[in-house]
Structure 1
Amino acid sequence: MKRKVISTQSSRALQALLPLLSDLTAQISAEHRYQRVLDALRELVPTDAVAILRLEDRVLIPEAAHGLAVDAMARRYPVDSHPRLKAIVEAPGAILFAPDCPYPDPYDGLIGASALPVHDCMGCALRINEKIWGVLTLDALKVGQFSEDDLQTVETFARLAAATVVAAGHFDELMRTLEGERKRAEAYRLAHQGGPQRMIGTSEAFKQLLGEIDLVAPSELTVLITGETGVGKELVARRLHSHSHRADKPMISVNCAALPEHLVESELFGHVKGAFSGAVESRLGKFEMASGGTLFLDEIGELPLSVQAKLLRVLQGGDVQRVGSDRSHVVDIRLLAASNRDLAEEVRTGRFRADLYHRLTVYPLRVPPLRERKEDILLLAGAFAEENQYRMALPPVRFATHAKSALGQYTWPGNVRELEHQIARAVLKAKKRVSGSARKDMLVLLADDFDLPTTARVLETEPTRSSDSVRSMPLDYKAAVDDYKKELLENALMQHRGNITAAAKSLGLDRANLARLAARLGVSVRRV
């Protein structure tokens, strides 16, 4: 009898897999393919949320899901930090958790718009050639929704699905080489040790940016990365380097805005002993340090005109002459540059050399501001919330519905960096707010936990106001942005009693950048 039941369940699973079989010879994206697998599984087992996660260095990474909140997709789930996921990975087959299981569910508060905890949970590891590639997870808000029959169905489905993946060879990325796995594991390790962040997004503007990066990265073309402050220009530069033929060579980054004017040449081109007062020994410049690899000049628009002329000569001939030396040194670099200024306008006003501008803009790359990629806000917010959760050893951090609404309606003049800082501050405020509450299993961020302007909350609290009336309100965008920047600077300086270095660090700015911005906005930097 048991054999007959299993046979029937296998037949149902095979019927559900039939649409997948027609995909085996089709050229479709991995994301679409994963979604098709989930659609087939949902036909077999009714569920509130189902997801497929890829295992990478003991960390589960969502690849596709149905029923999960948007911000859940950018989160990372370390196996050893989630007992349920660990049990699924280590189980020989599918596993069904009892409704009263004491293990916290990683998706609590992340199923749709609900803040309710998960009541039923099951899952199964996906194995390919005896190696665990990832897991399938199924969750329900209703107690007892899953049965032992569903358990066998999921296990049978997982085996058949994995078999079709291997047989077709369409999931070649699932069978990565050992070296590829090592590189990805190392990248993840560096990210958790304060290394460069990953690029996150699913919006069309973001996908277009990634497409351009991947197109130009393998070339040797000079790239000028433009975009507003906080959009992630350095992340773009790092992706360009990591996808280039120089990826195994160094990438040297220089923040031109942070260099004292009298030391710019020395920093870039190096100097010999005795070249100037304080030059007690010879020193390589950043160009020579980056030889064979990539040199990234951030905020290149801040370079003095005199240095721009010398930089142009280096780019034209590849010869670097150290300060105080008559000898030239040949360097082999790929140059990436970035600026939040309109360099074309800077050329027209005489603040930037036209010949250097044309040398830099061989391939211009514009990074869109966050307001042009609204769909990515909650993804980024979820990733930043997860980082703060682990950094501060907190329970799962979630967003209330009105908090998500407020985040989505704000224009984010400080872009991704501003969002990151807002999340960090909100987590601290929420931690303090709930420190005496009874609920310790989840930290829910409210709209009031964010330091957003009142306009964002007006839009959220007054839905009856027509869009025409909002559009008719007079608004000087540049003045509004400057006012907001001025308020941020004044608050930071007040908090740190006029200490420019500390204030700049709290805002994620360089000291020189903050000083120049304060001077432009008329903010006093007098220490108290």
Structure 2
Amino acid sequence: MRVVDFLQQLRGLLQRLGDQQGPELAEAWQGVLRSLVARTSADASALLVVHGPGLRPVAIQGLPEGVAGRTFVLQEHPRLDAIAKAPGVCRFAADCKLPDPYDGLLDDGLTPVHDCLGVPLRDGGELIGMLTLDALTPGALADLDDEGLLAAAELLGTCLRLSQRLDSARLQLALNHAPESHCNQRLVGWRSAPMRKLMASVELVAATDMSVLVHGETGVGKERIAHALHHGSRRAGGPLVVVNCAALPASLIESTLFGHRRGAFSGAVSDHKGHFQMADGGTLVLDEVGELPLELQPKLLRVLQEGEIQPLGSDQLRHVDVRVVAVTNRDLAQEVIQGRFREDLYHRLSAFPLEVPPLRQRLDDVMLLAGHFLEQNRVRLGVGNLRLSDQARAALLAWHWPGNVRELESLLARASLLAMAEVDRLASPDARRRSLRIDTVHLGLKTPPLTRSAAHLDEQVSAQRGTAHDLLPLREATDEFQRDCISQALAMEQSWAGTARRLGMDPGNLHRLAKRLGLKA
């Protein structure tokens, strides 16, 4: 690696990075890492940033896409922990017994003996990120100059500090602070165009006090958007109160929202603050707002218009400063037409409507989300690593996800458990300490994926009936489909780099897949 050429490339990328906005940062980071490893013999590399107690990749090369959705907790990954504590370049002996965080995630697999190094990225004395390089061949990284790596680390640290000053990074850090129990995805899963558009709107309206209506199908992650609106606003230091309107008994809804005085009704033995008063100075999230009874809706409208509440049993009005975010999976406009929701309240709540797209419209995010959920299951089950086979990845991308992100989370939890049980039954229990592979049999997706139209479905059924005797085994059919896709893309692009871009794949993964399919020597 020529240090001068390398640093010149990174300086140019540093300038470009400073001009990027929003999700384009991910593409800029990929460019930084691609330039860094271009002159090395690394088979897998990652650029990670500090995320809570661990690190999250912002760019990867030669690793499955789902790795970008994982968070690597330092105390659970001794190699990463050693790199974090190292004063400079940290090299591991080829036969080092410490488990590698990427072991088992590659189809080729990282052999027990391989080359590995890492460089910590620091801001002063504080760890802010890390660069890791792995090579399947021992000694392949020995010629890398430590001085050049440290110079690269210094410039990468500058890039990282710059990115943290961008407005979009501010929103991402706000999302990081959302409680895990309410926001399982956090930063994961908005690489797709529909989610980029949504998050741009979230960033725009978060800085205001406008009421927001977050709507979408069940399981798409509406609560995550509600949390993002709060943590990205000037109210982030104030309370965030979430109330599920559907879970409130009809007789107690008014008291729960607006509070009551002692003796206001039978059983009211003391004064009670309502949710509006609890959220004073912050944000109140009204989940399942479409379930509010009609008779209570005028009182909610009054609070939104006047900013005042009147607790039950009190003759005093109390001013509250609350930003309301309403969440629903119902079509409230249709509810208005049907007479089940007040039109004036609907318009007040939907001053800025946000629709969260269903997962079937954002398939580019599936692998990121899958990687995040697999890491959660890896920790919970105590296994070395969890990865998806090529066939399992294809099955996830072909599924229509009627239950959206929540269905994906539950599906992978079940599949992880089944994969672990299979290994325990067929092999030594120690086998799971290395890596578990989830295959299509563990996913159990048996019904055909959703097609674009009924006519398309009829055409598929007719074609399948006419060629039933020609059906191939699933593995062969999948390989044939992948072979055709790659061949067509290669014919159009005339280069493997262009083919990888057209197919949305990491170049290293594409080369390995093409080699396995017999398309590349």
Alignment counterpart, residue 99 of structure 1, candidates 94, 100, 103: 94
CA–CA separation in structure 2 for the residues paired with 1:444 and 1:89: 29
Matches within 5 A, 1:130-169: 130-141=125-136, 143-144=137-138, 146-150=140-144, 153=145, 155-164=146-155
- Any gaps of 5 or more consecutive residues in structure 1? 1-8, 460-465, 474-528
Q: Structure 1 pair 384/283, CA: closer, same or farther in 2 (3 Å)?
A: same
Specify the alignment match of 1:66 in structure 2. 61
Specify the alignment match of 1:481 in structure 2. none
Maintained 8 Å contact 1:126/1:158:
no
- Give the percent of matched residue pairs that are identical in Structure 1 and Structure 2: 43
CA–CA separation in structure 2 for the residues paired with 1:57 and 1:338: 28
Specify the alignment match of 1:522 in structure 2. none
Give the deviation of 1:210 after TM superposition. 0.9
Alignment counterpart, residue 420 of structure 1, candidates 394, 402, 409: 409
**Secondary structure in structure 2 of the residue aligned to 1:307:** helix
Deviations 1:245-267 (A, max 9, x none): 11100011111111111111111
Specify the alignment match of 1:88 in structure 2. 83
Specify the alignment match of 2:282 in structure 1. 293
What amino acid sits opposite 1:15 in the alignment? D
Matches within 5 A, 1:208-287: 208-287=197-276
TM-score normalised to the size of structure 2?
A: 0.79
CA–CA separation in structure 2 for the residues paired with 1:165 and 1:76: 20
- Any gaps of 5 or more consecutive residues in structure 2? 464-521
Specify the alignment match of 2:319 in structure 1. 330
Maintained 8 Å contact 1:133/1:174:
no
Q: Structure 1 pair 450/162, CA: closer, same or farther in 2 (3 Å)?
A: closer
**Secondary structure in structure 2 of the residue aligned to 1:224:** strand
Moved more, 89-98 or 74-83: 89-98
What amino acid sits opposite 1:391 in the alignment? R
1:42 aligns with 2:6: no
CA–CA separation in structure 2 for the residues paired with 1:149 and 1:139: 13
Maintained 8 Å contact 2:175/2:231:
no
Matches within 5 A, 1:505-524: none
Moved more, 156-165 or 292-301: 156-165
Give the deviation of 1:332 after TM superposition. 1.1
Specify the alignment match of 2:117 in structure 1. 122
CA–CA separation in structure 2 for the residues paired with 1:147 and 1:388: 32
What amino acid sits opposite 1:320 in the alignment? I
1:172 aligns with 2:162: yes
What amino acid sits opposite 2:446 in the alignment? P
Give the deviation of 1:30 after TM superposition. 4.1
CA–CA separation in structure 2 for the residues paired with 1:322 and 1:174: 44
Deviations 1:37-60 (A, max 9, x none): 322222321221111111345412
Q: Structure 1 pair 148/320, CA: closer, same or farther in 2 (3 Å)?
A: same
Specify the alignment match of 1:19 in structure 2. 9
User: Which gives a bigger RCO, structure 1 or 2 (Cα 8 Å, sep 6+)?
Assistant: 2
Maintained 8 Å contact 1:126/1:159:
no
CA–CA separation in structure 1 for the residues paired with 2:446 and 2:415: 14
Maintained 8 Å contact 2:88/2:119:
yes
**Secondary structure in structure 2 of the residue aligned to 1:54:** strand
Maintained 8 Å contact 1:269/1:320:
yes
**Secondary structure in structure 2 of the residue aligned to 1:209:** helix
**Secondary structure in structure 2 of the residue aligned to 1:14:** helix
Q: Structure 1 pair 147/227, CA: closer, same or farther in 2 (3 Å)?
A: closer
Specify the alignment match of 1:200 in structure 2. 188
Moved more, 274-283 or 233-242: 274-283
CA–CA separation in structure 2 for the residues paired with 1:428 and 1:223: 39
TM-score normalised to the size of structure 1?
A: 0.78
Moved more, 414-423 or 43-52: 43-52
1:314 aligns with 2:307: no
**Secondary structure in structure 1 of the residue aligned to 2:384:** coil
Alignment counterpart, residue 394 of structure 2, candidates 393, 405, 414: 405
Alignment counterpart, residue 360 of structure 1, candidates 349, 357, 362: 349
Maintained 8 Å contact 1:24/1:170:
no
Deviations 1:184-233 (A, max 9, x none): 89938x53xx4533142211111111111000001010000010011111
Alignment counterpart, residue 439 of structure 2, candidates 426, 429, 446: 446
Deviations 1:316-342 (A, max 9, x none): 111211123322211110011011011
